[in-house]
Structure 1
């Protein structure tokens, strides 16, 4: 595995997102996002409450997987990168994903998920 970032204390919205998303709790995950938030995942961009709800519903049921927090770092004011290791029944079976969060007013305004 490649070198991982140092772990920092994450803001409440990011912690809540990670817990709720792992629990497949769509409404609790959605509550961590600011109105008009944007998510980019798997090459697709989702913007606004309806699109995020559909994305969360799909990701909650598409595959079964476990996550392990590998590390986290601050990228500047209101910006954090979290690295998670996923293992599951998706193609390839394991992957390390980088979740890049941008916060605005204590909520997630942008999330980019990539390798």
Structure 2
């Protein structure tokens, strides 16, 4: 990854390509939230469940392409390719950070 991203965001993208959901969960604050497909997942347990469900449904890889916005939130456009309809697709990942961890992540088309 050649983009200049905060360490925790780089770690999130690396972890999201791994099979171990706990690596993704470790990127978030204890009160962190992920919103994906218009559904919010609050806290470590819910984020881990979301991550595991995505991995059970599809095999995929996420590759950050560019930073669309450097302010709060930090918005990264990433290509997601896998065995799902419409692959590959570019998605927007909007990160809000707190104390070096991810407070919230919203993933949108």
TM-score scaled by length of structure 1: 0.84
Unaligned runs of 5+ in 2: none
Distance 1:104 1:15 in 2: 15
Aligned-residue Cα RMSD (Å) equals 1.6
Alpha-carbon displacement from aligned partner over 1:29-88 (angstroms, at most 9, x marks no partner):
1100001111100121111111111001111221012333221244325x3111111222
> What is the TM-score when the length of structure 2 is the normalising length?
0.89
Structure 1 segments of 4 or more deviating over 3 A?
none
Matched, 1:44 2:39: yes
2:57 pairs with 56, 62, 65, which one? 62
Name which one, 1 or 2, has greater alpha-carbon Rg. 1
Where do 5+ consecutive residues of structure 1 fail to align? 1-6
